[in-house]
Amino acid sequence: MCGILAVLGCSDSSQAKRVRVLELSRRQSFSLCLLLIHTKSNKAKFIFSCFLFKYPLLNFDLSIQSLLLKHRGPDWSGLHQYGDCYLAHQRLAIVDPASGDQPLFNEDKTIAVTVNGEIYNHEELRKQLPNHTFRTGSDCDVIAHLYEEHGENFVDMLDGIFSFVLLDTRDNSFIVARDAIGVTSLYIGWGLDGSVWISSELKGLNDDCEHFESFPPGHLYSSKEREFRRWYNPPWFSEAIPSAPYDPLALRHAFEKAVIKRLMTDVPFGVLLSGGLDSSLVAAVTARYLEGTNAAKQWGTKLHSFCVGLEGAPDLKAAKEVADYIGTVHHEFHYTVQDGIDAIEDVIYHIETYDVTTIRASIPMFLMSRKIKSLGVKWVISGEGSDEIFGGYLYFHKAPNKEEFHQETCRKIKALHQYDCLRANKSTFAWGLEARVPFLDKEFIRVAMNIDPEYKMIKKEEGRIEKWVLRRAFDDEEHPYLPKHILYRQKEQFSDGVGYGWIDGLKAHADKHVTDKMMLNAANIFPFNTPTTKEAYYYRMIFERFFPQNSARLTVPGGPSVACSTAKAVEWDAAWSNNLDPSGRAALGVHSSAYGNQVKAVEPEKIIPKMEVSTLGVAI
């Protein structure tokens, strides 16, 4: 994946500006660009212009904005201009690194595309386009040709994750689209001159647009209609209650296919392994099926796994055990609370949010991503999305019935682009590292969300813990994927699993910088999404310094939450309203290390349900 920036209908379409944009984008350094953004002063711009010697100060803002995305694509930069439209691209080369530079074109170059994404079914799509000539081996090269054949209605044919801008110079129209769940990040803005701006990150828009907002996942924007249209319309989106019986083999096979298709690569890769259920299943399936893939032919069959945590963290111990069990080359990274605190400002600048739980989890992921990239790895597989699909967060223990359980999972999936997808995308791309998420595969979601939610309900008296249907699907006695106690390990949110002292350390740090007096005025200073804790106030101050525009603060979700719940689910337990914290340890009476309510951990053998054997010979 990469970073994209498009300016469509710009008032200045001179060739001189185009040349200046291109030249400046090649000469600027990322650190110097950060200086400009932090100071936003004429003096800084003057120093910068002197550094560049012969280039004047006029009209270099677009090149700055393009460079702001350079961390997302360190391998190549591309810029295409047609009239008053600019398509810029910062490439992280993973498939066809030699010739897949962007923007991409159709045969006669009347259609140009800048894409951030991975199209997993591109080889199949190429076969459906026998009369077309492809310029590169890039998986994204099919997009322009599919548009020629099918018009705007081709987007649902793409199996992958993507954000793209397509410019049709035949009628000077354009379309913009984002993947189904919002795994890739994308924003849209509007300039006073009538221009439309598209960027992978907020920082590409916040200085030039009168208004900007998050581009909605699963949607398409067409210049002809000047409005959004939802192209992704799965049955679960309506939140109607499904009734399909639970088939553990079907669920297992759907997930295995989702993992295998993501092994499309021409560069080194690895897997993030926290030792929790989701990342452990991702690692186990990858290790099991890697040998027969093209990736193994190029890079070998030995899978590399990565874990991060404070010294003695729960995740480190569990991840090492899983790595030994499945046979990965394991890399364990340690950090201190102070290391994390030192990174807070950098993380908020990169992930572009003030949401507390996202920042807590992004910091260790940000630190780990830097270490991973230094080893020459360019992408990793990760376990985001499972908790939303299966009701894995501990507050789901209190779901009153299957209807509310299912509706909450639907709400959580719809909001992923504001939380875990944002974290996984931006905290890794800060260092030019890509994260792929098989749990958010379109077909896997279809299978998983079609299951009658009665099977997903947490029923302690029947031995069913959170994500029971997923655990059971991979509980293979003959060919086990994981050790039994890992398969049935209690849910730990990433920000808890890296070490319980991590969140406590962040709260203590915030207490030193935010006074009680400051909190008294919080509603006046921050009337939108008013911070209710000192930690939230501290993050908000930093965010506002980087992104002071009202449009920026409106992109961040808010509302009460306990253990990562939506505001609606807080109503499930009256006691939660007095214990609002996104940590899993806020789920009093559920988490074995809950705040102020320590409960005895449940032994694995007590939560493994008694199995019956079907005629297929699998556990049911």
Query: What residue numbers does the annotated binding site for L-glutamine cover?
Result: 139
Taking each helix axis from N to C terminus, what angle separates 442-449 and 248-261, rounded to the nearest 10 degrees? 170
As annotated, the binding site for ATP includes 272, 308, 382-383
As annotated, the binding site includes 139, 272, 308, 382-383
The span from the CA of 442 to the CA of 461, in Å, is 33
338, two tokens: 């102070």
The span from the CA of 364 to the CA of 343, in Å, is 9
Quote helix, strand, coil % in the chain, to nearest 5: 45, 15, 40
Alpha helices, H only, 269-401: 277-289, 294-299, 314-326, 337-342, 344-351, 356-374, 386-390
Query: Among positive and negative, which fits the CA dihedral 288, 291, 293, 297?
Result: positive
DSSP 3-state of 613: strand
What does each C-alpha distance from 107 to 7, 99, 104, 111, 145 come to in angstroms? 23, 15, 10, 8, 8
Cα-based angle 101, 159, 105 (whole degrees, multiple of 5): 30
Is there a contact between 392 and 591 (Cβ–Cβ < 8 Å)? no
Q: CB count, 10 Å around CB of 310?
A: 21
Q: CB count, 10 Å around CB of 299?
A: 17
DSSP 3-state of 347: helix
Considering 2, 33, 307, 410, which one is annotated as catalytic?
2
Q: Are strands 187-190 and 111-119 parallel, antiparallel or unpaired?
A: unpaired
Give me the residue label for tokens 């069959």. Answer: 301
The span from the CA of 180 to the CA of 562, in Å, is 27
Is 2 annotated in the active site? yes
Classify residue 524 by burial, with Cβ atoms within 10 Å: 0-12, 13-18, 19+: exposed
Supply the DSSP symbol for 464: B
Cis bond upstream, residue 103 (ω within 30):
yes
Is there a contact between 251 and 448 (Cβ–Cβ < 8 Å)? yes
The residues assigned a catalytic role are: 2
